[in-house]
Amino acid sequence: MASYAITGASRGIGLEFVRQLAANENNTVLAIVRNPESQAISELAASSPQRDVTDPKSILDAASAAAAITGGKLDVLIHNSNAVDVATVGLSPSQIPVDTEATRKSFEPSLYTGVYGSLWATNAFLPLIEKGGQKKIVHISSGMADFGLIRKAGITYGVGYSAAKAAMNVQVAKYAVELAPKGIKVLALSPGWVDTWDMGEKPAEVVQATSGMLSLFRAVEPELKGQIQPEESVRKCLQVIRDLDAESSGMFLSHNGNQTNWF
């Protein structure tokens, strides 16, 4: 039996991780959510504590709750939590005001979930991982943090989000080096370009933004049709996680298991 803890599990990719992992009755799946409004979570997961990875005490409490269920051990931690400032995510770097509060507003949601939250979640669950069988820690990153993709596609928006994911990738590499003597593997994993909209019909502005992104991404992959669904993304991500070993620990990989195909 394998045990998994997934942060940011109430919707989208996180919820799909829970669905696919819970399909195996031999798995123990712990869904860590900020707002436990999802009925699906309560039906699928062994536990779905209301915790916030941007609050150190809250994530420590989540680890304690997980330990009580799993007997003090955990095989795989998947840190999926993510946030952006919607009002400024479309800005290019030169459009961000030279103003402390405006810059914080643009960057902090992504920094708190992607950098601080990933560090706090890792450290909180590390004692459980050390006693687990698989000893794997996976941070969900993004191809938007890949320099090559940014340059080839001409992507200027999502500055705070991309910077936070790049910082997360650096932390992953450092964790991998530090924890290698304990047999712990750490990975930064991009889920691909995923359609996570689950609130009915998409607003016109969302459709327009998606179309604009597709045009940019086709500069890198001309045959790209569009976004993939969470089911495909998570299925491929889980295969990459299964393949994670000491040799690939510390790397930044796509859901396709490489460093080139981010879609």
Confidence tier at 42 by pLDDT (50, 70, 90): low
Sheet of 76-79, strands arranged across: 28-32, 3-7, 76-79, 136-140, 185-190, 252-254
The structural domains of the chain, with segments of one domain joined by +, span: 3-201+228-254
Phi then psi dihedrals of residue 14, to 5 deg = -60, -45
Residue 244's identity, in one-letter code, is: L
3-state helix, strand, coil in the chain (%, to 5): 50, 15, 40
pLDDT at 201: 77
Identify the weakest region by mean pLDDT among 88-92, 94-98, 115-119, 203-207.
Answer: 203-207
Query: Given a cut of 60, is residue 175 above it in pLDDT?
Result: yes
pLDDT at 204: 87
Handedness of CA 112, 41, 51, 252 (dihedral sign): negative
CB burial of residue 200 (10 Å; 0-12, 13-18, 19+)? exposed
Phi-psi category of residue 48: left, alpha or beta, with phi > 0 → left and psi -120 to 50 → alpha: beta
More confident position, 201 or 88: 88
- Distance, CA of 58 to CA of 4 (rounded, Å): 18
Q: Which of 27, 39, 34, 32 is nearest to 6 (CA)?
A: 32
pLDDT at 197: 85
Catalytic, out of 4, 112, 157, 161: 161
For residue 153, give every residue at least 6 positions away whose Cβ sits within 8 Å of its Cβ, in sequence order, or none.
Answer: 216, 217, 219, 220
Phi then psi dihedrals of residue 156, to 5 deg = -105, -15
**β-pair partners for 167:** none
Identify the weakest region by mean pLDDT among 131-135, 196-200, 256-260.
Answer: 196-200
User: Residue 211 has which token pair?
Assistant: 């179309």
How large a percentage of the chain has pLDDT more than 70? 93
- Distance, CA of 190 to CA of 252 (rounded, Å): 8
Query: Given a cut of 60, is residue 46 above it in pLDDT?
Result: no
- Distance, CA of 5 to CA of 128 (rounded, Å): 11
More confident position, 154 or 53: 154
pLDDT at 34: 74
- 142 an active-site residue? yes
How large a percentage of the chain has pLDDT more than 90? 86
pLDDT at 44: 59
pLDDT at 169: 98
Instruction: Tell me the CATH class for 3-201+228-254.
Output: alpha beta
Residue 196's identity, in one-letter code, is: T
Whole-structure pTM value: 0.93
Chain-wide mean pLDDT for the chain? 93
Catalytic, out of 142, 162, 190, 254: 142
Query: Given a cut of 90, is residue 1 above it in pLDDT?
Result: no
85-109: per-residue pLDDT in tens?
999 999 999 999 999 999 999 999 9
Mean pLDDT of 74-84: 96
Mean pLDDT of 79-89: 94
Q: Which of 121, 135, 133, 149 is nearest to 262 (CA)?
A: 149
pLDDT at 203: 85
Are 18 and 31 a contacting pair, CB within 8 Å? Answer: yes
Identify the weakest region by mean pLDDT among 29-38, 169-178, 185-194, 234-243.
Answer: 29-38
- 161 an active-site residue? yes
Confidence tier at 25 by pLDDT (50, 70, 90): very high
Catalytic, out of 135, 136, 165, 185: 165
User: Residue 23 has which token pair?
Assistant: 């399909």
- Distance, CA of 56 to CA of 64 (rounded, Å): 12
Confidence tier at 40 by pLDDT (50, 70, 90): low
Mean pLDDT of 128-151: 98
